[in-house]
């Protein structure tokens, strides 16, 4: 098929011949342009095509082995007829290009975009084009960039031509080059081998925060931050240039000269043939790097939060109106906005994590994550890695770098549950973070600054642990800036009916069962029970009763019998007063009742302490806490069948 020729075809061919570029050897300037075009437009193939009378010859090419093709319609031959960038999204479905050899043969061309190479007289002698084997589009900014790069190709052709003509034409061309150099959307810098700036265009000055009169006194290496990673990267790049090799696409971290803000660039540099200076081009990728870092941070944070959701961190609302709870919530409202470190004390199962969440949600940090660490559930050998992270190869099994919980909580709140279980050597490192707001990952050689609020919790007597030498006194005072006591369920007996109704409604909805009624007798048993496992145990008892009840009324069966019976005549302490102990009758002490209760639950589970359906789960206790109570009370685990 013969394409219709441009009405100015004779003039166009004469202009092409005047450049004397057909069938010449490759030239670095043109090769650099197609290389940059392929990288910036993310295309596997980029070409400078010159459309001759019967053929299309490639002056420079990336991703293409053939030096020329026949002048078939649809691609470059059509692009020179267009007034703007010629884009074919899917050549296989385009009626003009679907029969083109590059589309039908093994190459499999699908996408094409070509910007005409316009001479100063307006004649289109070829194209700067990109090709892909998949259908795609170009954004408006990419179309404009391709057109500008095509203008750069023509400028290079003009420079070749004027080099063989008069000095006047050469001066005119250099002026146009200077304009294009200064106005180019890509940063250009000429540097000495010692990184001293010789010349820089406006884009480079804007990205680096350099005033025009500061160019000659600026050294590129002075803009590199004093961090091991940044220094190592720039040193490797400079060594490559010193060997006379090109440096292509290196990502460097710099600091702006005017305000020291971080800026990330993708850097290409080539030594001048004279060997006296380098020609450097770079792109500002700061926004892309920061978005990537934020994406990684959010992915790690979301992974952590998904773990937390799967682990089901107990109830999600504060329920109750007792004086002790109201006073605690008043303290939360008062302390939350301050950012001070808080130490929550109280028995296990009282809802210390819920109070920590309330502190976070009422603080200015609520837009960031509340990250939880159960210090008692992590082995001593892994607790530092969990808190501070590690670099690749820091220890056996460290196949990659991993951020710790402090990094995940940066800008937010870190909840250290069971902080009294931390090993002494880890306590030292935690103290340093609290004092200096920075830490070193395991195996790392530089510190990482963080902005984290600490909320710690414990069911131990830390003051006694300090006296016993099991907890550092300086860390204790750092944590206990604002101590807050979370009352046990025995101290807020008036809240039991409200809590029972709340858990009953939620469990019935969760299990898809009708909500059973709570009789006065059952409620009295609940109120009189001492609840050694506190709110967590109440929640588990209600859920177990909902699961097993077969009547419209909630049935407790003998869930509370070992403990309630001896307390049947003991009224609950009035609001605000400490709970009175049960009558001192044989087998009526709390320890004895607790021992019997644990033994009964162990008998029901066949001696299984932890795991699904184990005694710890039924009692609402951590397995290590249950084992400690068993040892203290002399409870022996029955042989498992």
Q: Which DSSP string corresponds to 304-325?
A: HHHHHHHH--S-SS-----HHH
Type and span of the H or E element at 281: strand 277-284
Position 559 pLDDT exceeds 70:
no
Type and span of the H or E element at 462: helix 462-467
pLDDT at res. 170: 55
Position 575 pLDDT exceeds 50:
no
Residue 22 phi, psi dihedral angles, 5° rounding: -60, 135
pLDDT tens digit string along 294-315? Answer: 667 766 665 665 455 444 333 3
List 278's β-bridge partners, or say none: 191, 271
Position 588 pLDDT exceeds 60:
no
Q: Which residue from 482, 487, 479 is spatially nearest to 459, judged by alpha carbons?
A: 487
Least confident piece of the model among 70-79, 292-301, 439-448, 625-634: 292-301
Cα angle, residue 235 at apex, residues 231 and 240 outer, rounded to 5°: 155
pLDDT at res. 382: 78
pLDDT at res. 1: 36
Q: Which two tokens mark 265? A: 């660039």
pLDDT tens digit string along 344-361? Answer: 999 988 889 889 998 998
Position 557 pLDDT exceeds 70:
no
- Distance (Å, rounded) from C-alpha 177 to C-alpha 171? 10
pLDDT at res. 299: 60
pLDDT at res. 36: 94
Position 564 pLDDT exceeds 90:
no
- Distance (Å, rounded) from C-alpha 30 to C-alpha 56? 16
pLDDT tens digit string along 30-59? Answer: 999 999 999 999 999 999 999 998 999 999
**Confidence band for 576, pLDDT divided at 50, 70 and 90:** very low
Position 293 pLDDT exceeds 70:
yes
pLDDT tens digit string along 247-281? Answer: 667 888 889 988 889 899 887 877 777 767 778 88
Position 203 pLDDT exceeds 80:
yes
Least confident piece of the model among 23-37, 98-112, 333-347, 564-578: 564-578
Residues 6+ apart with CB under 8 A from 120: 154, 158
Cα 459 from chain centroid (whole Å): 33
pLDDT at res. 636: 80
**CB–CB of 406/439 below 8 Å?**
yes
For range 68-94, the mean pLDDT: 88
Neighbours of 178 (CB within 10 A): 12
pLDDT at res. 298: 60
Residue 157 DSSP code: H
Residues 6+ apart with CB under 8 A from 77: 3, 51, 56, 71
Position 430 pLDDT exceeds 80:
yes
Position 375 pLDDT exceeds 90:
no
Neighbours of 468 (CB within 10 A): 9
Tell me how far CA of residue 399 lies from CA of 228, 307, 385, 395, in angstroms.
Answer: 21, 22, 13, 9
**Confidence band for 614, pLDDT divided at 50, 70 and 90:** confident
pLDDT at res. 173: 58
pLDDT at res. 241: 63
Least confident piece of the model among 160-174, 178-192, 241-255: 160-174
pLDDT at res. 179: 62
For range 180-196, the mean pLDDT: 78
- Which of residues 73 and 337 earns the better pLDDT score? 337
pLDDT tens digit string along 230-249? Answer: 788 878 777 776 666 666 67
**Confidence band for 380, pLDDT divided at 50, 70 and 90:** low
For range 440-454, the mean pLDDT: 85
Average pLDDT, the chain: 81
Neighbours of 4 (CB within 10 A): 10
**Confidence band for 319, pLDDT divided at 50, 70 and 90:** confident
List 282's β-bridge partners, or say none: 187, 267
- Distance (Å, rounded) from C-alpha 154 to C-alpha 131? 20
């Amino acid at each position: 098929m013969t394409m219709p020729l441009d009405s100015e075809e004779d003039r166009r061919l004469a202009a092409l011949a005047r450049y004397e570029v057909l069938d010449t050897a490759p030239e670095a300037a043109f090769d650099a342009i197609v290389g940059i075009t392929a990288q910036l437009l993310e295309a596997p193939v980029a070409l400078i095509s010159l459309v001759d009378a019967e053929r299309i010859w490639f002056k420079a090419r990336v991703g293409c082995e053939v030096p020329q093709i026949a002048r078939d319609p649809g691609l470059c031959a059509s692009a020179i007829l267009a007034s703007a960038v010629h884009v074919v999204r899917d050549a296989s479905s385009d009626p003009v290009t679907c029969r083109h050899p590059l589309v039908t043969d093994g190459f499999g061309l699908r996408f094409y975009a070509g910007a005409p190479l316009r001479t100063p007289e307006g004649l289109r002698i070829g194209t700067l084009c990109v090709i892909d084997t998949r259908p795609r589009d170009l954004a408006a900014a990419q179309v404009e960039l391709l057109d500008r790069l095509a203008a750069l190709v023509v400028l290079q052709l003009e420079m070749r031509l004027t080099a063989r003509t008069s000095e006047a034409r050469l001066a005119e061309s250099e002026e146009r080059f200077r304009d294009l150099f200064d106005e180019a959307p890509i940063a250009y810098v000429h540097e000495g081998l010692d990184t001293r700036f010789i010349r820089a265009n406006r884009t480079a000055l804007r990205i680096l925060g350099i005033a025009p009169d500061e160019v000659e006194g600026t050294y590129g290496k002075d803009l590199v931050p004093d961090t091991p990673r940044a220094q190592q990267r720039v040193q490797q790049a400079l060594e490559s240039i010193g060997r006379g090799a090109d440096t292509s696409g290196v990502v460097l971290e710099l600091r702006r000269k005017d305000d020291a803000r971080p800026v990330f660039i993708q850097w290409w540099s080539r030594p001048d043939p004279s060997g006296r200076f380098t020609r450097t081009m770079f792109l500002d990728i700061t926004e892309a790097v920061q978005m990537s870092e934020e994406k990684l941070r959010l992915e790690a944070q979301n992974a952590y939060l998904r773990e937390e959701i799967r682990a089901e961190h107990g109830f999600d609302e504060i329920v109750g109106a007792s004086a002790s709870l109201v006073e605690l919530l008043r303290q939360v409202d008062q302390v939350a906005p301050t950012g001070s470190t808080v130490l929550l004390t109280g028995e296990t199962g009282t809802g210390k994590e819920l109070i920590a969440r309330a502190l976070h949600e009422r603080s200015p940090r609520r837009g960031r994550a509340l990250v939880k660490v159960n210090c008692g559930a992590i082995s001593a050998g892994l607790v530092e890695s969990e808190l501070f992270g590690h670099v690749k190869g820091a220890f056996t099994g460290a196949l990659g770098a991993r951020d710790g919980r402090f990094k995940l909580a940066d800008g937010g709140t870190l909840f250290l549950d069971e902080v009294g279980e931390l090993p002494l050597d880890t306590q030292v490192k935690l103290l340093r973070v609290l004092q200096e707001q920075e830490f070193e990952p395991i195996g790392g050689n530089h510190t990482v600054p963080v902005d984290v609020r600490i909320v710690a919790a414990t069911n131990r007597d830390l003051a006694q642990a300090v006296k016993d030498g099991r907890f550092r006194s300086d860390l204790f005072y750092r944590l206990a800036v604002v101590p807050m006591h979370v009352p046990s369920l025995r101290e807020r007996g008036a809240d039991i009916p409200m809590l029972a109704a709340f858990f009953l409604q939620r469990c019935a909805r969760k299990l898809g069962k009708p909500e059973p009624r709570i009789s006065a007798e059952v409620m009295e048993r609940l109120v009189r029970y001492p609840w050694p496992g506190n709110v967590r145990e109440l929640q588990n008892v209600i859920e177990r009763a909902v699961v097993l009840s077969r009547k419209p009324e909630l049935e407790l069966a003998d869930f509370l019998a070992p403990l309630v019976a001896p307390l049947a005549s003991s009224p609950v302490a009035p609001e605000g007063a400490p709970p009175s102990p049960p009558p001192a009758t044989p087998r009526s002490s709390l320890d004895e009742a607790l021992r019997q209760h644990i033994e009964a639950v162990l008998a029901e589970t066949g001696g299984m302490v932890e795991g699904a359906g184990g005694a710890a789960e039924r009692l609402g206790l951590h397995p290590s806490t249950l084992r400690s109570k068993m040892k203290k009370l002399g409870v022996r685990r029955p042989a498992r069948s």
